[in-house]
Amino acid sequence: MRAAEPARFRMTKVPAAVIAAGLALALVPSSRAAAPQTAGLQVALRAWGLYSGQIDAVAGPSTRAAVRAFQLRAGLPVDGLAGPRTRMALGPLGRPLLGRRPLRLGAFGWDVSVLQFELTRAGLYRWPIDGFFGPETADALQRFQQARGLAADGVAGPSTLARLRQPAPSVRRPVPVATGSYVVQPGDTLTAIAGRFGTSLSALAHKNHLSVDGVLLIGKRLRTPQSASTTTSPDAVRGLVDEWADTYGVDPALARAVAWMESGYQTNLVSNAGAWGVMQLIPSAWDYVEQVLLGQQIPRTVEGNVRVGCALLRQLLHEFDGDERLALAAWYQGARAVREHGLYPETKTFVANVLALRTRV
């Protein structure tokens, strides 16, 4: 169970080097060197639909152009610098800089994006860099702490933040999978793998001469289709969410916020529970939408994933009489659990973050 960080909790002793690194971002320099705080800026600009490049912490021309475009939109002086006024206008993802507070489960903001970038660079985090400190971020952080001989408490306090910028010991990085194939990992299911590659369960089984009900052996190399969904840009994802939200009568801003919180607009993520895609839908939810809500099969594509997610969000809003807070809670923990138990603490954090983002993505 995830617990939100109390707003009143603040770090008391932060290494001077960490604070200096944070303050240095105010000028978004024209440099090809990576400055980790810039990753937070890129994530915030991506959420606004103004930056579609990689989250690489390099303040190149596209990052600076996106800053200027945002400043123009926000009615700020257009100087291309990510100063305090610009970061404040960016909303929840524009603050605080890394080093201003300890980070733990439920935290949300610029500093979390930077932490996720650093953990990605260390080869420990493979999920969206989206500014939300969820279980995946906590797991990667604990593995980082263990590797550095720190207390593996899953909290990024002064000691952990200081070690982030030190040269890393030998860390085992994920080995890229060859194009067109996938090696079965512990916990994988055929359904989840099919979702990851934007294909159907039956098609993947047929391609590999497997039974959909058979045993899936760890270490087996599967042949996978080449999916166009791997190249879908964040801008294209936003467009699909807007289109299908409008089709189903859902506020596009709300649907975009849900999509960002679930995947950071990334298309082929698959959780250990088999939740897949932009909207992170588990197989049972997909089946429910197909069989009960829409009465037809929906292609396992990026657009299909967005369509199913928007249809499900519409149904939850209907079930809870348009109450967005309860509908979002049902999205996160299930409608029945909301009715029987109310909102879990981690659900309240998720709901609050989505609602804070609805006008910022």
Q: Are strands 181-183 and 221-223 parallel, antiparallel or unpaired?
A: antiparallel
Does residue 128 share a domain with residue 21? Answer: yes
**Sorting pLDDT into bands at 50, 70 and 90, what band is 88?**
very high
The tokens of 194 are what? 């099919």
Among the candidates 122, 138, 164, a domain finishes at 164
Residue 6 lies in a domain: no
Residue 170 lies in a domain: no
Residue 289 lies in a domain: yes
Query: Cβ(9)–Cβ(83) under 8 Å?
Result: no
Pick from 302, 242, 234: nearest CA to 42? 234
Class of residue 7 by CB neighbours under 10 A (exposed 0-12, middle 13-18, buried 19+): exposed
**Sorting pLDDT into bands at 50, 70 and 90, what band is 265?**
confident
Does residue 159 share a domain with residue 191? Answer: no
What is the DSSP code (8-state) at residue 130? S
Does residue 201 share a domain with residue 112? Answer: no
CATH at residue 262: 1.10.530.10
CATH at residue 154: 1.10.101.10
Does residue 303 share a domain with residue 235? Answer: yes
Query: Cβ(330)–Cβ(267) under 8 Å?
Result: no
Pick from 117, 119, 122, 116: nearest CA to 173? 122
Pick from 140, 151, 145, 139: nearest CA to 163? 145
Does residue 218 share a domain with residue 122? Answer: no
Does residue 243 share a domain with residue 220? Answer: no
Does residue 119 share a domain with residue 188? Answer: no
**Residues known to be catalytic:** 262
Query: Cβ(344)–Cβ(1) under 8 Å?
Result: yes
When divided into structural domains, the chain yields a total of 3
Residue 172 lies in a domain: no
**Cis upstream peptide for 225 (omega within 30°):** no
| Residue 196, Ramachandran bin (φ over 0: left; ψ between -120 and 50: alpha; else beta) | alpha
Place of tokens 């489960």: 105
Compute the distance between CA of residue 239 and CA of residue 265 in angstroms, rounded to an integer.
11
- Residue-range definition of the domain harbouring residue 215: 181-225
Does residue 244 share a domain with residue 200? Answer: no
Pick from 51, 28, 30: nearest CA to 233? 51
* Pick from 70-79, 264-273, 281-290, 320-329: least confident: 264-273
Does residue 191 share a domain with residue 128? Answer: no
**Sorting pLDDT into bands at 50, 70 and 90, what band is 117?**
very high
What is the DSSP code (8-state) at residue 25? G
Does residue 285 share a domain with residue 212? Answer: no
Compute the distance between CA of residue 231 and CA of residue 236 in angstroms, rounded to an integer.
10
Residue 62 lies in a domain: yes
Class of residue 285 by CB neighbours under 10 A (exposed 0-12, middle 13-18, buried 19+): middle
CATH at residue 209: 3.10.350.10
Query: Cβ(194)–Cβ(299) under 8 Å?
Result: no
Does residue 33 share a domain with residue 101? Answer: yes
Does residue 216 share a domain with residue 265? Answer: no
Q: What is the pTM of this model?
A: 0.64
Residue 174 lies in a domain: no
Residue 150 lies in a domain: yes
* Pick from 116-130, 179-193, 286-300: least confident: 179-193
Q: Which residues have C-beta within 8 Å of that of residue 167, sequence separation ≥ 6? A: none
Query: Cβ(229)–Cβ(268) under 8 Å?
Result: yes
Residue 176 lies in a domain: no
- Could you read off the pLDDT of 214-257 as tens digits, one per residue? 777 888 888 776 543 345 678 888 889 999 999 999 999 999 99
pLDDT at 128: 82
